[in-house]
Chain A
């Protein structure tokens, strides 16, 4: 006997795979609500976040494993005067740092410590743990990165909006030109120019170093901000132009909304959606410190730390920094996915009963 088609739908049709967001699947639960005569799509947000966390953990594990074994292929040894030491001396030093054991054993020990949150001891800085090292280096990089991101995106969005609202006028050409400059001038050139004019010629701000409080952070932040600024300006301009020609903007005008309301209340949020995607990785890169800019301004940040640890084969520090960067990137991607839902209700994950 044939089943009642409605029962069939409710029983078997309630779990439908709908979309793929990055490589993570969202299982959406379709709920048929007879009272409201329409189908409500609901994602189970708790389930979703739980699943994402498992994936994030797995990703971190893979990165840790891959980095550990890849690092072993680096030429040279962490011991600076390796060649000058004799067999016994080498054995003593290697034993001290735990690199005498077979690789799989080293790996197991490292992973065991990692699980406890211990990133090991630096080979180069005597007796200093990598955790402490990172903690002391993270702060300047983070401050610079955060300032650059906030400043860059806000100015970039405003420039992009200006260009779109005054399309094909001098404002548009001006801000587009500025955005192109931002993309094409390497940050070290821009950093040097800032140092020369603002610091060295006009004596407004310190040339470098990290000893003048907030003032020290201004120039490097501006230099770092150029990238995200140009990127946001270009994205927002293109998106805004498209959004401004859409029907709902005409409707907003027909309601009597003024130019400001149309730009900020109606258009901006819709234009932000694609920008959020690209800004995620950019944010990770910038917050974790720009190697070049930190070098130019002599900022004791994490980017500078990373390079010097590779130069000296400081295994524990390389591992620690890589894992830190990865964790940050993975976390930011996760945040971006959540932000998506906040900005665009069509991909919102609402807490359902399912």
Chain B
């Protein structure tokens, strides 16, 4: 599969009055052509920062790339000048933001805002740009687009505004679309519509999507692959099925267990104990160890490398080390694993038939 975007050992810090905050501590992932990669994790895990650093939208004065590279079209995005980045932003890589109520300019007609990237990146006349803009608005499902071209953001509902933001992001057929929690600020019925729209559009324009969210329900709905982030690192990455039905990292177990489920109604809803690590003084070993009941001694001393589970599935936990003791994941996770061909519980459960 063709790799569109490669992030390698990315490390990024923020300089604050309190000191250096190591927000991203060695993140690597690839984005394949036409796929949707979901990045999940709790607040402060570094998922937004990772994508904003791909777009180079973090304040230059306080953030600093410490190490690593972001390869796109043969260029390392961390090394490009601002001018060069301006040619990539909105054209090759574009972004959808969390809150549609604040992400459109209140004093500019939506038509102008949709036309802006077209006029900026493509050598077309204003009339042509307007045509394209109206077409885009129609595609994202704004009824009566021609008449509403001259309207201002406050004349649209939240869901419609998010559709407009999506239209802006798609204006130049970007190769990569970054969606930073695009449904978090919307109510559930609209969420479903927006997700549907994004899936639709991906089929039409064949773009790769990085989808940031903390909502695992959304992940199951849209993603091909999932990367789980914790404490500025990716702790587990795999296909949706692998993450949902054969998770290996205790943090992923925690995340999945804290998801309300219809099937296991009698259980009390699980919550991961403790708080996320302080990235001002990141822990030495596994950042999750202090909150994990499966922590090993080595977790306190050394950060685990990525262990291979399958060709597409990797997890950073010492539990996968050959010398590690075999532990049983929480009950709900075992239930999940029973349905996954290739997990040890699957074989146990169906041993007789095999």
What CA separation (Å) do A37 and B87 show in the bound complex? Answer: 38
Q: Does B88 contact A (CB under 8 A)?
A: yes
Stretch with Cβ within 8 A of B (4 or more), from A247-255, A276-284, A318-326:
A247-255
Contact A255 B105 (CB under 8 A): no
Residues of chain A from 228 to 285 with CB closer than 8 A to chain B in the complex: 246-248, 250-258, 265-266, 269-270
Rounded to whole angstroms, the CA-CA distance of A251 and B103 in the bound complex is 6
Cα distance, A71 to B55, chains bound together (Å): 68
- Minimum CB–CB distance from B52 to chain A (whole Å) comes to 9
Interface string of B138-168 (1 = CB under 8 A from A): 0000011000100010111100000001001
Q: In the assembled complex, how far is the CB of residue A38 from the closest CB belonging to chain B, in whole angstroms?
A: 6
Number of interface residues of A (CB under 8 A): 25
What is the number of residues of chain B that contact chain A, defined by CB distance less than 8 Å? 36
Given known contacts A36-B143, A38-B157, A346-B152, is B117 in contact with A251 (CB within 8 Å)?
A: no
Indicate if B116 sits at the interface (CB-CB under 8 A). Answer: yes
The residue in B87, B94, B106 that gathers the most chain A C-beta atoms within 10 A of its C-beta is B106
Is B88 within 8 A of A344, CB to CB? Answer: no
Q: CA separation between A255 and B91, bound complex, in Å?
A: 7
**A265 partner residues in chain B, CB cutoff 8 A:** 108
A345 to B152, CA, bound (A): 7
Is B97 among interface residues, defined by CB-CB distance under 8 A? yes
- Choice from A35, A247, A266, A344 contacting B97 with Cβ under 8 Å: A247
Inter-subunit contact A270/B116 (CB<8 Å): no
Residues of B within 8 A of A111 (CB): none
* CB proximity to B under 8 Å, residues A326-354: 343-346
Q: Is the pair B116, A250 in contact by a Cβ cutoff of 8 Å?
A: no
**Does B86 reach chain A (CB closer than 8 Å)?**
yes
Kindly provide the distance from the CB of B117 to the nearest chain A CB, expressed in whole angstroms: 4
Q: Report B's interface with A, CB cutoff 8 A.
A: 55, 57, 83, 86-91, 94-95, 97, 99, 102-109, 116-117, 120-121, 143-144, 148, 152, 154-157, 165, 168-169
A-B CB contact pairs (8 Å), 28 listed:
A35-B144, A36-B143, A36-B144, A38-B155, A247-B102, A247-B103, A248-B102, A248-B103, A248-B104, A252-B116, A253-B57, A254-B89, A254-B90, A255-B89, A255-B94, A256-B86, A256-B121, A257-B116, A258-B83, A258-B86, A269-B107, A269-B108, A270-B105, A270-B106, A270-B107, A344-B107, A345-B107, A346-B152
